[in-house]
């Protein structure tokens, strides 16, 4: 490297921090951002986004579980009807693969709502859960059909839900319990999209935001529907 090249190289090193500051401070940088689904309202100039309603239900061991138990966690949620003739095996298989994919992510939890779980005796329910080979952050939550319907349709906004089959969709929630995506668990391509979305959601933590964090612009690449 001759003297001229050395000076050019040194100049670029000195200039890079200034250029970086200029780009960040003027907002001339674009990031991939997940949409936030559901209705929203404006209160005192702040946007209030739809968030999942808290619940208090028993897990498969009969212990009380609420949404607040997963505070500060990202969450992937699904609804299954374990006793129905549905695609439950395929859905749970994909769920199992997802937890393996993110086995080192302590900030991510998996929640499976089991509809009509009261039709199982304790031993049968325990046997079903064990057969899924869940990791330490995959939680099974018991619910009857009426509670599941209320949660799935009004809180999780799952349009395909029915008490007879549950839902084919996995729902991705952020740390504030806002819906950030719907992904068909039957379709391999959609599950791959979910894997990418989890990574994007994590990356949002480290991105510089201008102004109040609740006022940031959300890039909406999808309409508010399960696609």
Domain 40-215 has CATH 3.40.30.10: yes
pLDDT digits (tens, 9 = 90+) for 152-170: 999 999 999 998 889 999 9
Longest dimension (CA), the chain: 81
* Window from 22-31, 57-66, 125-134, 135-144 with minimum mean pLDDT: 22-31
Residue pair 199/191 in contact (Cβ under 8 Å)? The answer is no
Instruction: For 71-133, give the DSSP string.
Output: TT-EEEEEEE-TTSSSSHHHHHHHHHHHHHHTTT-TTEEEEEEEETGGGS-HHHHHHHHHHT-
Q: What is the pLDDT of residue 15?
A: 47
The structure tokens listed for 75 are 């969450």
Which candidate, 195, 208, 222, 227, places its Cα nearest to that of 29?
A: 208
Which candidate, 88, 138, 141, 145, places its Cα nearest to that of 116?
A: 145
C-alpha 51/C-alpha 92 separation (Å) is 25
Q: What is the pLDDT of residue 108?
A: 96
Give the confidence band of 51 by pLDDT, cuts at 50, 70, 90: very high
Domain boundary assignment for the chain: 1-30, 40-215
Per-residue pLDDT for 196 more than 90? yes
- pTM of this structure: 0.77
Give me the percent of the chain exceeding a pLDDT of 90: 49
pLDDT digits (tens, 9 = 90+) for 79-129: 998 776 567 888 888 988 898 899 899 999 999 999 876 667 778 888 888
């Amino acid at each position: 490297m001759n003297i001229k090249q050395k000076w050019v190289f040194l100049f670029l090193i000195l200039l890079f921090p200034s250029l970086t500051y200029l780009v960040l401070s003027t907002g001339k940088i674009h990031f991939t951002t997940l949409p936030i689904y559901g209705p929203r309202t404006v209160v005192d100039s702040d946007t209030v986004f739809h968030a999942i309603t808290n619940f208090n239900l028993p897990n498969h061991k009969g212990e009380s579980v609420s949404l607040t138990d997963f505070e500060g966690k990202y969450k992937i949620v699904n609804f299954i009807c374990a006793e129905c003739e549905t695609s439950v095996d395929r859905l749970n298989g994909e769920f199992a693969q997802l937890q393996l994919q993110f086995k080192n992510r302590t900030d991510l939890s998996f929640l499976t709502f089991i509809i009509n779980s009261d039709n199982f005796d304790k031993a049968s329910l325990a046997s079903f859960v064990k057969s899924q080979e869940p990791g330490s952050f995959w939680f099974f939550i018991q619910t009857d059909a009426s509670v599941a319907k209320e949660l799935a349709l009004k809180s999780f906004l799952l349009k395909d839900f029915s008490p007879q089959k549950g839902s084919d969709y996995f729902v991705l929630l952020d740390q504030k319990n806002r819906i950030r995506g719907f992904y068909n668990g039957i379709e391999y391509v959609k599950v791959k999209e979910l894997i990418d979305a989890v990574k994007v959601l994590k990356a949002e933590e480290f991105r510089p935001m201008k102004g109040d964090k609740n006022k940031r612009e959300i890039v909406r690449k999808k309409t508010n529907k399960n696609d």
